[in-house]
Structure 1
Amino acid sequence: MKRKNINTTLDQDLYKQIKLLAVKRDVKANDLIEEGMKYVLSKYKENYFNNDISKIENIQGDINE
């Protein structure tokens, strides 16, 4: 899968908790953040995309540019 570098800000305490969990689980903090992003997309997918994959693909195309 192609990767994309992004720059964002996060709540400092939230990120500390993610880093601690990553150490305890022996995974990268980035992997946990990505897992959380996938969870949010799956949670709201039906409400906002009405299972229309083409809309999701269009958004992903915009993101990749």
Structure 2
Amino acid sequence: MFEFWDWVGGRYSYDSAIGLSLMIAIGPDRFREMLDGFHQIDEHFRTAPIEENAPFLLGLLGIWYGNFHDA
């Protein structure tokens, strides 16, 4: 069992030391592919025009559903 701070959430921790068990399970090559995917979406978010920016648009949808549909 690895110990870590209680303020570290699991949702965004796959690419930290907490992801070691995941890397062992899927192997270092697949883990590297996952990290490459994280980098690709970071670059997409940073460079894509707003109208084509998936993270931005999904964020707007989250606000829309939360404010107008009580979701």
TM-score by length of 1: 0.35
Determine which structure has more spread, i.e. the larger CA radius of gyration. 2
The structure where helix makes up a greater share of residues is 1
TM-score by length of 2: 0.33
